[in-house]
Amino acid sequence: MEDNYENQLFKSIAGYVVEKVPESENKEEKLLLQSLHLSKYLGDTRSFIFQNKKLNSWEALIHPVTVDLMTADGACGSYAFILSYILNELKIPNRIAQMKVGNMYGGHILVEAKTSKGWVVLDGSYDLCFRKKDGGLASFSEVSNNWDYYKNQVPDSYNSGYRYEGVRYTNWDKIPVVLPLFKKVLEVFLGKERVEQISMRNYFLRKFRVLFNVSALIYLTLIIRIIIKRLKLFRMGIELYFPIMFPSLEI
């Protein structure tokens, strides 16, 4: 129920984006920009209203994207999650990027979306995208390689520390042993370069669905174990009363 409520909410937001974008040659870009503008607007206006809201224990534990939508208490992360969820509903491939600030990854969070012309960077915190000299949207690497040019496009409120010095998409060291091992397995099947481009956060945006699937798997495993145990007990009972049907296999 929680997942359905959250998903229907973002479907409505995505529907609003589509309604605001007319059919045109550059519709793809307009969908991205409208999503970017809307995520900034929603985060700003709702956080102003709910900035002092105290989360209940359930909200604090799960912290669904609806909490980000309402409070934006995750700062740049909240804006990125809102934008990413909207793009997911629009069926636009995207990944949540963790910018390197100084020597620390994750110092700023933003989104990269995949278009017919390649990846482009979108910063929901500042309602910011970058224009190349030909007018097209720029990618993270393009901004990183020519920061002296692109820094002139940032707003006055921009944090000068966010200089596009580097990026990662998943912190593979967050859960020691487990995630590094999982990464090694993925590299065998997908290749090292492709694995480095995977954003695990995108797969966990719908946290209630993930929680439901994990819970369902646990319950299914328990049910199967109970059935197997009952079948063993049933067989033992049959062997006890009808030994001729199950002759001893001992040699």
- Of residues 22, 31, 49, the one with CA closest to residue 86: 31
% of the chain surpassing 70 pLDDT: 94
User: Does residue 152 fall inside a structural domain?
Assistant: yes
Same domain, 233 and 116: no
Through-space distance between the first and last CA atoms of the chain, rounded to whole angstroms? 58
C-alpha span between 78 and 168 (Å, rounded): 18
% of the chain surpassing 90 pLDDT: 72
Q: Which residue has the higher pLDDT, 245 or 169?
A: 169
User: Does residue 213 fall inside a structural domain?
Assistant: yes
Q: How many residues does the chain have?
A: 251
Same domain, 230 and 113: no
Residue 247, pLDDT score: 57
Distances (CA, A) of 36 to 13, 41, 121, 211: 12, 9, 10, 28
Does residue 6 surpass a pLDDT of 70?
Answer: yes
pLDDT in tens, 174-184: 999 999 999 99
Same domain, 102 and 36: yes
Same domain, 109 and 42: yes
pLDDT in tens, 51-90: 777 777 777 778 889 888 888 876 899 999 999 999 999 9
Does residue 249 surpass a pLDDT of 70?
Answer: no
User: Does residue 214 fall inside a structural domain?
Assistant: yes
pLDDT in tens, 188-242: 999 999 999 999 999 999 998 988 899 999 999 999 999 998 888 877 777 676 6
* 168 contacts 195 by C-beta, under 8 angstroms: no
Same domain, 116 and 217: no
What's the rounded mean pLDDT across residues 102-121? 95
Q: What is the mean pLDDT of the chain?
A: 90
Same domain, 220 and 132: no
Residue 74, pLDDT score: 65
Q: Strands, E, within 3-74: which ranges? A: none
239 by Cβ neighbours in 10 Å (0-12 / 13-18 / 19+) ranks as middle
Tally the C-alpha atoms within 13 A of residue 22's C-alpha that lie toward its C-beta: 1
* 197 contacts 95 by C-beta, under 8 angstroms: yes
167: pLDDT confidence band, cut at 50, 70 and 90? Answer: very high
Segments forming the whole domain that contains residue 36? 2-168
Same domain, 104 and 8: yes
* Domain total of the chain: 3
Of the three residues 141, 168, 195, the one that is the final residue of a domain is 168
Of the three residues 118, 152, 168, the one that is the final residue of a domain is 168
Joined tokens for residue 77: 């992360």
